[in-house]
Amino acid sequence: KDVETIQSIAQHIAIAVKNARLFQQIVTERQRISTLYTLGQAIATSLHPETILQTALDLTCEALKSEFGIAWLYIDGNITPKAIAGQDKSTLAKIKKLQDQEILTAEGLIGRIINDKIPVNFASIQTIEDPPSWHTILNIQSVLAAPIMESDDPQGMIAVFHTKTSAFDNNHLDLLQAICQQVSLALSNARRYQDINHLADLLEAERVRLEKLLEMLPVGVLLLDEKHQLLIANPLGRLFLHHLAPEISSTEPLTHLGNYKIADLLEQHTDMHPVEIVIDHPKHTIFELQAQAVAAENPQLVITLRDITQEREVQNRIQMQERLATVGQLAAGIAHDFNNIMAAIVVYADLLLMDKTLQPTSQERLMIIQQQVQRATSLIRQILDFSRRSVMEQDTLNLLPFLKETEKLLKRTLPETISISLHYKNDEYIVLADPTRLQQVFMNLAVNARDAMPDGGEIRFDLSKINIKPEDTRPTSDIPSGAWIWVRITDTGTGIPPEAQPHIFEPFFTTKPVGKGTGLGLAQVYGIIKQHNGFINFESRPESGTQFNIYLPSYADTIEHKTIETVRLEMNGHGKIVLLVEDDAATRKALEAMLQTHQYHVLSAKNGNEALALLENVSHPVDLVISDIVMPQMGGLELYKQIQSRWPQVKTLFITGHPLEEQNQQLLQEGNIHWLQKPFTVREFTQIVMEVLDEELN
């Protein structure tokens, strides 16, 4: 019985022990589940790795009753301590100091745990072959550690420590592993969140960059949806839209741009050719429009707009310059021969008029010939003016007295039904100009104004000074900064038709009936102003008159006013020897006759080579060489150089039917050489011959 009793008691004890163990397991599991649940709740909403590690480490130390713990994070191959926890403040201070001194490195055991990816439970630090160097500072005896893994990649590690041996068991190790799994999930979520945030930041930065780029684009950009509602517009696009469709609000579908319907643009976008839209209000503007459909689920339309007004103006100016250059080349080609012909006619007509026995009817006919020659010469001069190949004799000129004289001249020549007025402030308006050419400008503009006012009206001249600063709005797009003299010529006539305005400075363009104009007047004006380094533009509206604006560079120096005396010139050569070098036979004979009439002994040659031969063989020295510039075999300039090197005492006078090239003009000016443009009158010729020979003026 005693044995049975003992056996029964033993069985009850065994059952009790088993139940106690089961109860302990249940309690342990319950604690484990509670710890993991609490951890899950704590780190579920955290998106920062340091916060996740600190929260997990605090709960781990509490659940495992460890004295302190450290959590490392694995970043770009480096293992860095990111969280510390513990019960004793002095121990935490030591750990914090070690962390600040970067001593808590993952060397030895710690590094091996992460590299081997296995959890460890060391009951005694003495059993570890490679304990961390700092274990003695913290008096570590027991170590429990587990890696934080994502798939097969380490993310970090959590380790807890105790100053007693055998402080942890396998249940503790299982709990630590479970905690590390939850931490791994939380860290993965945090990293994904950071990646998403990083991508969002990149997208936002790209959006801002594109928005700034769109704002800075030198073109207007519009994006329309399938209903032609405006979705996006950059600042320039909104400005252009205000000009092209001012009556449409931002909430309405866009139906048109200028005179183009949006629907038509959508149909035509495939050819990719830009469309030009011209508007006249608030000012004349030319837009270049290009439309492109965007391939999307809902069709959209991208429209780009460029203000090409200035670009077209530049193109028009270039085209005009090309046309002027072409006509100038033609004019230069024919001017020489034409002027030679005119020179011979003028000289012979002048010589005949000097004949006292000539009948009055013959004298009248000769005067008609002279008038027609002057008209023909003027026509050539006009062509050379607008092609900028005519010769300018510029000097300082005060425009105020000059325009006063022009006003008097116009009052005498224009009909009484047209009033002429000049408005100014008392000042000096100094420019560098050729008075003859400048008077031609004002006469041409006044005559055009007269023709635009058949029933009478007013022509008003305004003279003023302007100083254009770099930041100022320019009256013309290409005028530079500086001081300018501004002359306005305004009429009250019929105005210039809009379709004719782009062409009025073109040679041979005219709005007058056939036979009433050559179309050279305004082209000549344009060329003369450009030769004076000036600028000209105009404003005109039908039935409201026209205003021409001329800008000439202001010349700083004042003018010394001189009194010009008219001197009667008479020439007598007294047998002086003149060598005449001219390739045109008719002109040569005419000039021979004129010189002989005035008692000069004349030697003739048709080119430079013949002239040199005569100079080498003459028995008496030559007093004056009169030479054409452009001749076959040897021209006038080469002849002049030969004469200067061999007979420097011989004086030279050039006569030419060609418009002087710039380099030739410069050479003549530097050498102080006299020259005369064909055709010329006998009086003009005799005067310059006397000046060259230093004859006395009687």
CATH, residue 103 = 3.30.450.40
Same domain, 627 and 695: yes
Classify residue 332: in a domain, yes or no. yes
Looking at the structure, tell me whether residues 180 and 59 fall in a common domain. yes
Phi-psi region of 653 (alpha: psi -120 to 50; beta: other; left: phi over 0): beta
- Are the C-beta atoms of 569 and 446 separated by less than 8 Å? no
Q: How would you label 552-589 residue by residue, b for 16+ Cβ within 10 Å and e otherwise?
A: bbbbeeeeeeeeeeeeeeebebeebbbbbbbbbeebbb
Q: Which amino acid is at 430?
A: I
Sign of the C-alpha dihedral, residues 435, 436, 440, 441?
negative
pLDDT of residue 477: 75
Asked whether residue 12 is domain-assigned, the answer is: no
Among 256, 274, 307, residue at a domain's last position: 307
Q: Are 121 and 238 contained in the same domain?
A: no
- Let me know whether 404 and 362 are in one domain: no
At 246, which CATH number?
A: 3.30.450.20
Total domains in the chain come to: 4
Based on the fold, state whether residues 337 and 481 are members of the same structural domain.
no
pLDDT tens digits for range 592-629: 988 998 889 999 999 999 999 999 998 889 999 999 98
Provide the pLDDT for residue 564: 33
Instruction: Among 523, 553, 583, give the residue marking a domain's end.
Output: 553
In this structure, are residues 659 and 666 in contact, taking their beta carbons and an 8 Å threshold? Answer: no
pLDDT at 572: 75
| 57 shares its domain with 169 | yes
CA–CA separation, 462 and 487 (whole Å): 6
Residue 536 lies in a domain: yes
Are 394 and 433 a contacting pair, CB within 8 Å?
yes
The CATH number of the domain where 575 resides is what?
3.40.50.2300
Of 693, 115, 37, 594, nearest in space to 349 by CA: 594
Residue 32 and residue 147 in one domain: yes
Q: Among 485, 391, 389, which Cα is nearest to 430's?
A: 485
Domain of 448, in residue numbers: 395-553
Q: List all residues 6 or more positions away from 507 whose beta carbon is below 8 Å from its beta carbon.
A: 323, 324, 327, 383, 386, 519, 520, 523
CA angle, residues 34, 38, 43, in degrees to nearest 5: 150
Compute the distance between CA of residue 442 and CA of residue 41 in angstroms, rounded to an integer. Answer: 95
In a domain, 18, yes or no: no
Q: What is the pTM of this model?
A: 0.46
Domain annotation covers residue 199:
no
Q: What is the pLDDT of residue 567?
A: 38
> In this predicted structure, what is the pLDDT of residue 552?
95
Residue 624, in any domain of the structure: yes
Look at residue 240 and tell me if it is in a domain.
yes
The 674-677 sheet, strands edge to edge: 601-605, 577-581, 624-628, 651-656, 674-677
Are 235 and 140 within one domain? no
CATH of the domain at 433: 3.30.565.10
- Please enumerate in sequence order all residues whose Cβ is within 8 A of that of 495, keeping only pairs 6 or more positions apart, or say none: 452, 540, 541, 542, 543, 544, 545, 546
pLDDT of residue 472: 85
Residues lower than pLDDT 70 in the chain: 21-33, 105-107, 266-272, 295-297, 324, 327-328, 331-333, 335-336, 379, 381-393, 507-520, 557-571, 658-672, 695-698
Same domain, 139 and 230: no
Q: Does residue 559 sit within a domain? A: no
Q: Both 128 and 154 in a single domain?
A: yes
Buried b (16+ CB within 10 A) or exposed e, 155-181: bbbbbbbbbeeebbeeebbebbebbbe
Claim to verify: residue 128 and residue 73 sit in the same structural domain: yes
**Domain final position from 193, 212, 244:** 193
Both 105 and 236 in one domain: the answer is: no
